[in-house]
């Protein structure tokens, strides 16, 4: 398993079992949604100093490999 693959965890009981940056409650879909809304990596890191550039790279790689999962999670969590 690569380091990037191990960077993402799905843990039952944590954020509904959604893919998260390891040892955090930051979901990949949430980060991907911010990116789609136009937030830069620098802006995301400014608001979440507990994340690193490597965390975001792992999230972007995961999102690119699992677009259907990420799109479904964004839709499921959209505020109506």
29-76 pLDDT tens trace: 999 999 999 999 999 999 999 999 999 999 999 999 999 999 999 999
**Residue closest to 7 by CA, chosen among 68, 77, 65, 47:** 65
Which domains are seen in the chain, by residue range?
3-76 (1.10.10.10)
How high is the pLDDT of residue 68?
97
In 1-80, the DSSP E strands lie at: 8-10, 19-21
Structure tokens at 72: 């479904």
């Amino acid at each position: 398993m690569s380091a990037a693959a191990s960077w993402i965890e799905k843990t039952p009981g944590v954020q509904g079992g959604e893919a998260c940056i390891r040892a955090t409650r930051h979901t990949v879909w949430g980060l991907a949604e911010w990116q789609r809304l136009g937030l830069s990596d620098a802006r995301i890191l400014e608001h979440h100093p507990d994340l690193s550039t490597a965390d975001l790279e792992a999230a972007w790689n995961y999102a690119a490999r699992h677009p259907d999962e990420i799109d479904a999670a964004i839709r499921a969590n959209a505020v109506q």
